Amino acid sequence: MGGGLVIVPILAWILAAQGIVPSHIMHLAIGTSLATIIPTAISSLRAHHVRGAVDWVLVRRITPGIALGCLAGAWLAARLEPEVLRIILAIFQFYVGTQLLLGFAPNPSRNLPSSPVITLVGSFIGALSSLIGIGGGTLSVPWMVWCNKDIRLSVGTASAIGLPIAIFGSAGFIFNGLSSSALPAHSLGFVYLPALVGIALASIFTAPLGAALAHRLPVVTLKKLFAILLYALGTKALLTTI
């Protein structure tokens, strides 16, 4: 699972503590989160590709919808109030946390739909991912499993889908933020470059620690811990006024 559900709220609090204009905080946090996904998605998809775990035909079919949805989501996010974006993020955090606690997994019940339907699905995944600053795996993996895709292939393909989400999503936030005033120094639209560099560098050192911990803790324990974290972040997002 990508870190957008954690990066966005924590980055928003850090930006608020630095005195960033409140009306731009959530947009900067989401745009920056999407930009941080680019290097991690490239690394992840390469690893899955080497193992033959990426359905590139599906990636090509869904990418046009992903691109359209991400650009539309970024356009909409730029016009929504920060409070609305926080509520959308909190609701999704509660959803994912509940999904982890209940162990919900869709039963494979059908095959992949036609290309127009895949485009619509991609548009939905891209739009929601762009609205809350995530790589889309929490949406695309259950959908692919539901369409009778092997879970390993679904995870690998989701990592590849995360790259166009990150590229088009962050590009949308950059473009929609270029005309905004009172942005902090070293911002490229709604992408805050110091945070982008800091998160990318820090992840190089902390990702191996997380991976090691993941192999030592039981899966059930990991799910419960992350669910509790998401509930805590979602609750704080609803109670915090930026």
pTM of the model: 0.88
CB 8 within 8 A of CB 33: yes
- Which structural domain, as residue segments, surrounds residue 10? 4-239
Q: For residues 196 and 190, what is the distance between their CA atoms, to the nearest angstrom?
A: 11
Q: For residues 138 and 223, what is the distance between their CA atoms, to the nearest angstrom?
A: 13
pLDDT of the chain along its 242 residues, tens only? Answer: 557 888 999 899 999 998 899 999 999 999 999 999 898 888 888 888 888 889 999 999 999 999 999 999 999 999 999 999 999 999 998 988 898 888 776 777 678 888 899 999 999 999 999 999 988 888 898 899 888 888 888 888 998 999 999 999 999 999 999 988 889 999 999 999 999 999 888 877 776 676 677 667 787 887 888 889 889 988 988 887 55
Q: How many domains are there within the chain?
A: 1
How do the residues of the chain divide into helix, strand and coil, expressed in percent and rounded to 5? 80, 0, 20
CB 36 within 8 A of CB 10: no
